[in-house]
Amino acid sequence: MPYLVSSSIRSGARFAAIAGAIAWQCASAAAGETRVNARYDVTLAGMEIGKAALVVDINATNYTAAASGKITGVAQFVTEGKGSAGARGLLTKEKPQPGSFAMTASGDDKQIAIQFGFERGAVKGLQVSPTPQPRPDRIEVTEIHRRNVLDPMSAALFVVPGTGEVTGPDACKRVVPIFDGVSRYDLSFEFLRQETVAAKGFAGTAVVCAVGFRAVAGHRLGRKDIEYMENNKDMAVWLVPAAGSRVLVPFKVSVSTKVGTCVIEAKSFATQYAETRPAAVPAQGPTQGNAAR
């Protein structure tokens, strides 16, 4: 039972953190800064098993994203765990350019730490502790698997190009290649519907996307949990706009597991946009010395 609970939490937390790809377009001619501060409840089969938080800062050229979570409720009697992750990078009009990623997680007397950077779109300086043990049935992660990918946190946000409806079908049309430091996998998204959602500090329309999972490398052949996730047709993410932008962030995630549905849903959701303009430069008059002449 402890394994099933912790496995469900990890699966749900992964989908909360990697719900898509991010890029940026300015919402106006003036530069601006957007902040999202969200708090989530995590439930499994209707019972609380965890809490999570997400903070995102974006502007015309940069982004930072940070998430944290811990096991709570009835689950803490059979297992324990907490973790955090963060990333930063540059933003273009089409896609992010990740700069760095780091995460730590601990539970049941086990700890893992991962960090890496990016150079010209490729993962550089990868550090994983403890080092994964080599196994003959594990699909090797090669150099090509670490190119043109997003880290999990940089993949937590979506951009909807153009000027159309931000929560329309176009928001979901994408396949996101992700490398988390150990595994390489793809997440695919398809439009399901629009839905009204509400939490403390927010009420509005969400776009609901079906989620598909495909393992690429880093996993062991024949693993039943991988097969289950690849065949899982009951995974979805609810996305809502970050204020003042065409960027979407996760509001809710639902993942079917063998022991019930894991749901991560915002209970408070604050998003603010602050327009910033260059300070006015005072007109320069004659200096005191010149005026005396």
Higher pLDDT, 134 or 293: 134
> How far apart, in Å, do the first and last CA atoms of the chain sit?
89
pLDDT tens-digit profile of 206-252? 999 999 999 999 999 999 999 999 999 999 999 999 998 888 999 99
pLDDT at residue number 281: 45
Nearest CA to 269 out of 236, 232, 243 is that of 243
Q: Is the pLDDT of residue 108 over 80?
A: no
pLDDT tens-digit profile of 122-170? 999 999 999 988 889 999 999 999 999 999 998 988 888 888 899 999 9
Pair 54, 61: CB distance under 8 Å: no
pLDDT at residue number 162: 84
Q: What is the pTM of this model?
A: 0.83
Task: State CA 83 to chain mean position distance.
Answer: 14
Band (pLDDT 50/70/90 cuts) for residue 262 is: very high
pLDDT at residue number 91: 74
Q: Own/partner pairs for 281-290, CB < 8 Å, 24+ apart?
A: none
Domain boundaries, the chain: 2-267
> Distance between CA 17 and CA 154 in Å, rounded?
9
pLDDT tens-digit profile of 164-200? 899 999 999 999 999 999 999 999 999 999 999 999 9
Band (pLDDT 50/70/90 cuts) for residue 277 is: low
Q: Which helix (H) or strand (E) holds 227?
A: helix 224-230
DSSP of 140-200, one letter per residue? Answer: P--GGGGBS-B-TTGGG-EE--SSS-TTSGGGG-EEEEEE-SS-EEEEEEEEEEEEEEEEB
pLDDT at residue number 76: 62
pLDDT tens-digit profile of 46-76? 999 999 999 999 988 888 999 999 988 766 6
Q: Provide the token pair at 106.
A: 């601990």
pLDDT at residue number 244: 86
> Distance between CA 123 and CA 117 in Å, rounded?
6
Q: Is the pLDDT of residue 118 over 50?
A: yes
Taking the CA atoms of residue 225, residue 227, residue 233 and residue 239 in that order, the dihedral angle to the nearest 10 degrees is 60
pLDDT at residue number 276: 61
pLDDT at residue number 123: 98
Cβ neighbours of residue 248 under 8 Å, at least 6 residues apart? 20, 157, 158, 159, 160, 166, 167, 171, 207, 239, 240, 241, 242
pLDDT at residue number 291: 38
Mean pLDDT, rounded, for 203-207: 97
pLDDT tens-digit profile of 18-52? 333 222 222 332 346 999 999 999 999 999 999 99
SS3 10: helix
* Position 37, amino acid: N
